[in-house]
Each structure stands twice: as structure tokens, then as C-alpha cells.
Amino acid sequence: MRETDRRKITKIRRAIKYPVLIFFIRVFILIVRIFPRGFVLKTFAGLGRLVFRFLKKERDKTINNLTLVFGDVKTEIEIKKMAQQVFVNQALNFADYVHTMQYTTREQFSKIVEFVGEEHLREAYNQGKGVLCLMCHVGSWEFSAIMPPVMGYETTAISRPMPNEKIDKLIVGSRQKRGMKNISRGNVYDQLVEVLKKGECLIIMIDQDTQVKGVFLDFMGKQAYTPIGAARLAIDSKAPVLPMYMKRLPNNKHQFTILPQLPFINTGNEFDIIENTKIYNKAIEEIINETPEQWVWMHERWKTTPEEVEELLQQKRENALLKS
């Protein structure tokens, strides 16, 4: 078969596949919303335990990461129990996300979300410099991101587009219904600065391993490649940085907590970016340690190594020489 024919067949398959997938996703959402929340949560908790049992690769990554951080203070049995609860919590958060897709107002979300510390956000927002909302993948981070706009604050988030346009539109559309404005990841730094200049909230997350510009800093007792864009934005815009996070309570309600503005180092020294990023890492660590089983330990946070970064930089230098 010719390559052009293969491409045509692949294009046709995708044209059929994704509309069908979107249809089943919408049907799934409708079915989940039919049942009471208590039943849905109980069902998904069971599914979370099943996934933990059968998804060996993800289970092993979770246990390995928990062992890396807590291996000196917890037994293997305790770590395995924590790992299983990580999967259960992710399943519960997904269940709540689907079950509340029709929610758009603060009044609706108040049925399952308690708000703590809004005075800190209000004070920072009223300064008119914008607010960098420092969030992390604890609890239902999707809920965390949409809470500021739901609470009535102009808010923008930056996100990586999904591989398929229709699925991406479904997810972004869900956020937009709650008042969230979205910027697709790319060469958009000036846009982010402009968002802050307009006095808006900007959602930022730096607790995952990414390929954006970063430095190796201590995170949960281990060196982790950490993005520095948040600190750069804070220095360029003078916007206050406030940690915010969602956690699941024992009664299956969520608590959205907004902490006071973090200290800001701005001496004009080139190391200010690193020192501020250290402060952000420390704030995120404290949030994770509050409810460690609610963070995404299946993510390979410590994957990138100094050797890999050096190799990438060397490749870029060689490419630049070839082009010159």
C-alpha cells in the first residue's frame, strides 16, 4: 500500500473515531449525572481500587515515588496503602468532575465545596496588579482552577491543548462555562504579562516535570527540575503570588483554601528568580504534606536529570552552530 493511501485511511479513521468518542463521552457524562452523588462516589472508589490492582505500571510508579519520599519513615505496607488511596482519590475527583459538569455558579458549587481564606484573594486582587494563583495537583485540581472565576474573579489559565481538537474543545468549553479564559501553551509569555496587567488572576502550576525552562531545586527532599516561569512573571509584573489548593474532606466535601501572599524577593539580582521559586516549592511541599495521598504520585516528578538537560542544551548549541 502506498504511503499516500495509508495517510488517507488514517485520516478517515480519525474522522470517524473522534466524533464517536465524543458521543460516548457525552453519553457517559449524562449517565453519571443521573445517579445520586453518593452512589457515584462509592462506585468510582471501587473502580479506583480496581485500577490500582490491575494497572501495574502506574501502580509501580506511584509506590516508587512514595518510597522515594517517605521510605525512611513509613513501612512498605503503609506506602502501598497510601498508593491505593492515591488512586481512589483520583477516581473520586474524576467522579465529582463529571457529576458537576452542569455547575456554573458559586451557589451550586457551595453544595460540595467549602471556601477558606477568600479575604487573602480579595485583598491581593484589589491591588490591581493581577494575582498569580499558585496551584498544584492536590485534590481536585480541575476544581481548584475554576474556583476563582466561579467566585467572581476575572481569571485566565494556560493549558496544553489536547491532541484532538474536539476533545480539547469539550474540556476548554467546560472551563469557559465557569468563567475561565484559556490560553494555549506556546510562545505566550507576553500574553500572560498582559493578563496580569489587566488585574486578572492567572492560574499557574509548577509541581510537575515539564520541558519548559527550569532549574533543579529541592522538592520533597529530592532534586526536581522546576519551572521558573512563575517567578519570572512575579518579578516582571509585581503581581502577588497566593498558594491555593483543593482537598477532599472525610465527609467527601471539598475545601478550597487560599493562603496569604507569599514573600517576594526582588533585589535586582539574577538569582531572585531561583530564590522565589524555592519559596513556591516550599509552599507546595507544605500543601502536599497536609494530605499526601491526594497528590498525583503516579506522575514522574523526578524524571528529568541534570544529564538530560545538559544533553538537550548541547543539542541546541549544535543546531545553532549549524544554522549560523
Are 209 and 301 in contact by the 8 Å Cβ rule? The answer is yes
Interval 232-276: pLDDT, tens: 999 999 999 999 999 999 999 999 999 999 999 999 898 999 999
- Confidence band of 184 (pLDDT split at 50, 70, 90): confident
**Residues 128-148: what's their mean pLDDT?**
95
Q: Which of 47-56, 106-115, 209-218, 293-302 has the lowest mean pLDDT?
A: 209-218
Residue 124: name the closest of 237, 229, 201 by CA. 201
Give the Å distances, CA to CA, from 170 to 82, 155, 173, 175, 261. Answer: 32, 19, 5, 9, 33
Q: What's the pLDDT score for residue 13? A: 55
**Residues 155-182: what's their mean pLDDT?**
79
Four-residue CA torsion sign, 155, 156, 162, 167: positive
Give the Å distances, CA to CA, from 127 to 150, 151, 180, 194, 199. Answer: 20, 17, 21, 16, 8
- Confidence band of 22 (pLDDT split at 50, 70, 90): low
Beta bridge partners of 157: 182, 203
d(CA 3, CA 93): 43
Q: Which of 177-181, 229-233, 318-322 has the lowest mean pLDDT?
A: 318-322
Interval 213-231: pLDDT, tens: 899 999 999 999 999 999 9
Residue ranges per structural domain of the chain:
112-290
Q: Is the pTM of this model over 0.85?
A: yes
Which is higher by pLDDT, 256 or 21? 256
Cell of 114: 467549602
What's the gap between Cα 18 and its chain centre? Answer: 25
**Residues 274-292: what's their mean pLDDT?**
97
- Report whether pLDDT(28) > 90: no
Q: What's the pLDDT score for residue 323? A: 65
Instruction: Give the three-class secondary structure for 113.
Output: strand
Interval 50-90: pLDDT, tens: 999 999 999 999 999 999 999 999 999 999 999 999 999 99
**Residues 116-141: what's their mean pLDDT?**
97
- Confidence band of 324 (pLDDT split at 50, 70, 90): low
